[in-house]
Amino acid sequence: MSKEIAIEAKNLTVGYGDYVLLKNADYQVNKGDIFIIMGGSGCGKSSMLRVLTGLIQPLKGTVIINGTDIMKAPENEVQKIREKTGILYQGGALFSSMTLAENIMLPLQQYSDYSPATMRELAHLKLALVGLKGFDDFYPSEISGGMKKRAGLARALALDPDIVYFDEPSAGLDPISSRNLDDLIVELNRSLGTTIVVVTHELSSIFAIGNNSIFLDAQSKSILAHGNPHELLKNPPNEEVYKFLTRGGEK
* pLDDT tens readout for residues 144-194: 988 999 999 999 999 999 999 999 998 888 899 899 999 999 999 999 999
**Amino acid letter, 191:** S
Asked if 154 contacts 116 with a C-beta cutoff of 8 angstroms, the reply is no
pTM of the model: 0.92
pLDDT above 90 coverage of the chain, percent = 80
pLDDT of amino acid 54: 87
The verdict on residue 165 lying in a domain is: no
Query: Does the pLDDT at position 248 exceed 70?
Result: no
The verdict on residue 92 lying in a domain is: no
pLDDT of amino acid 173: 85
The per-residue pLDDT of the chain, averaged, comes to 92
* pLDDT tens readout for residues 93-106: 899 999 999 999 99
The verdict on residue 128 lying in a domain is: no
The verdict on residue 230 lying in a domain is: yes
Query: Does the pLDDT at position 251 exceed 70?
Result: no
What is the DSSP pairing of strand 195-199 with strand 34-39? Answer: parallel
Q: Domains in the chain: how many in total?
A: 1
CA distance 18 to 229: 32
Query: Does the pLDDT at position 32 exceed 90?
Result: yes
Query: Does the pLDDT at position 118 exceed 70?
Result: yes
User: In whole angstroms, what separates CA 212 from the centre of its chain?
Assistant: 13
**Sorting pLDDT into bands at 50, 70 and 90, what band is 250?**
very low
The verdict on residue 120 lying in a domain is: no
The verdict on residue 147 lying in a domain is: no
Q: Which domain holds residue 80?
A: 1-84+192-251
CATH of the domain at 42: 3.40.50.300
The verdict on residue 144 lying in a domain is: no
pLDDT of amino acid 170: 86
H or E, element range at 35: strand 34-39
User: Average pLDDT for residues 18-32, to the nearest whole number?
Assistant: 95
| Longest Cα–Cα distance in the chain | 56
CA distance 119 to 55: 27
Query: Does the pLDDT at position 223 exceed 80?
Result: yes
The verdict on residue 68 lying in a domain is: yes
